[in-house]
Amino acid sequence: MRKPIIAGNWKMNKTPAEAKELIEALKPLVADAQAEVVVCPTFVCLSAAKEAIAGSNIHLGAQNLHFEPKGAYTGEVSAEMLTSIGVEYVIIGHSERRQYFAETDETVNKKVKAALAAGLKPIICVGESLEQREKGITKEIVSLQSKLALEGLTKEQVAGVVIAYEPIWAIGTGKTATSDEANETIGDIRAAVREVYGEAADEMRIQYGGSMNPKNASELMAKSEIDGGLIGGASLKAEDFSQVVKY
Ligand code: 3PY
Q: Please report whether residue 60 resides in a domain.
A: yes
Query: Does ipTM exceed 0.90?
Result: yes
Q: State the chain's mean pLDDT as an integer.
A: 97
8 alpha carbon – ligand 1 mean position (Å): 9
Candidate of 6, 166, 236 to mutate for ligand 1, largest count of ligand atoms within 8 Å of Cβ: 166
CATH number at residue 155: 3.20.20.70
Query: Cα–Cα distance between 185 and 206 in angstroms, integer?
Result: 10
Q: Residue 93 has what pLDDT?
A: 98
The confidence band for 176, taking pLDDT boundaries of 50, 70 and 90, is confident
The confidence band for 120, taking pLDDT boundaries of 50, 70 and 90, is very high
Q: What is the domain range of residue 155? A: 5-236
Q: Please report whether residue 211 resides in a domain.
A: yes
pLDDT in tens, 205-234: 999 999 899 999 999 999 999 999 999 999
Q: What is the mean pLDDT of residues 1-6?
A: 96
Q: What is the mean pLDDT of residues 118-126?
A: 98
Which residue has the least CA distance to atom 6 on ligand 1? 232
Q: Please report whether residue 216 resides in a domain.
A: yes
183 marked as binding residue: no
Q: Residue 82 has what pLDDT?
A: 98
Q: Please report whether residue 38 resides in a domain.
A: yes
Q: Please report whether residue 159 resides in a domain.
A: yes
230 touches ligand 1 (CB under 6 Å): yes
Active site annotation includes 59: no
The confidence band for 172, taking pLDDT boundaries of 50, 70 and 90, is confident
172 alpha carbon – ligand 1 mean position (Å): 6
CA proximity to 157, closest of 106, 209, 114, 207? 114
Q: What is the mean pLDDT of residues 86-100?
A: 98
Q: Please report whether residue 152 resides in a domain.
A: yes
Q: Please report whether residue 241 resides in a domain.
A: no
Q: Please report whether residue 120 resides in a domain.
A: yes
In this prediction the pTM is 0.97
10 marked as binding residue: yes
9 marked as binding residue: yes
Into how many domains does the chain fold?
A: 1
Q: What is the mean pLDDT of residues 111-116?
A: 98
211 touches ligand 1 (CB under 6 Å): yes
* Percent of residues, the chain, with pLDDT higher than 70: 100
Q: Residue 171 has what pLDDT?
A: 87
pLDDT above 80 for 155: yes
Q: Residue 99 has what pLDDT?
A: 96
Active site annotation includes 94: yes
Question: Of the listed 66, 94, 128, 225, which one is catalytic?
Answer: 94
233 marked as binding residue: yes
93 touches ligand 1 (CB under 6 Å): no
Q: Residue 173 has what pLDDT?
A: 82
